[in-house]
Amino acid sequence: MLVSHSSDNQAKLSQTSEELRRNSKKIMELWEKRARDEVSASIHQDSLALQNSLPLYLDQLADELSNQSKKTSLQTEDVKLKNTQIGRNHGHERAGYVDYTMSQLILEYHILRQVIFQILEKETPLSPRARDIIIDSIEQAVNDAATQFSDTLRDIQEMFMVTLTHDLRGPVNVVKMGTQLILRRFELGDTHLDITVRMISAIERMDAMIQNLLDASRLRAGQGLKLEFEDCKLDQLLHEVIEDLSFTHGDRFVIVSESNVVSRCSRKQIRRVIENLAVNAIKYGDSDAPITLTLQKTSDHIQLAIHNRGNPIPPETQAILFQQFRRPPSAEEKTGWGLGLFLAKNIIEAHRGTIEIDSCEAQGTKFVIRLPK
pTM of the model: 0.51
Q: Which residue has the higher pLDDT, 157 or 13?
A: 13
CATH of 2-155, one of 3.30.420, 1.10.10, 1.10.150, 1.10.490: 1.10.490
The pLDDT, as a whole number, for residue 366 is: 94
What is the rounded average pLDDT of the residues 335-359?
83
pLDDT score of 339 more than 50: yes
pLDDT score of 164 more than 80: no
pLDDT score of 338 more than 60: yes
- The CATH fold assigned to 229-372 is Heat Shock Protein 90 (3.30.565)
All CATH 1.10.287 domain ranges of the chain, comma separated, are: 157-220
All CATH 1.10.490 domain ranges of the chain, comma separated, are: 2-155
**Cα–Cα distance for residue pair 11/20, rounded to 1 Å:** 14
All CATH 3.30.565.10 domain ranges of the chain, comma separated, are: 229-372
pLDDT score of 162 more than 70: no
Q: How confident is the model at residue 2 (pLDDT cuts 50, 70, 90)?
A: very low
Closest CA to 359 of 299, 280, 297, 287: 280
Residues contacting residue 342 through CB under 8 Å, at least 6 positions apart:
216, 322, 323, 324, 325, 326
CATH 1.10.3470 fits 157-220, yes or no: no
Average pLDDT over the chain reads 82
pLDDT tens string 120-151: 998 888 889 899 999 999 999 999 999 998 88
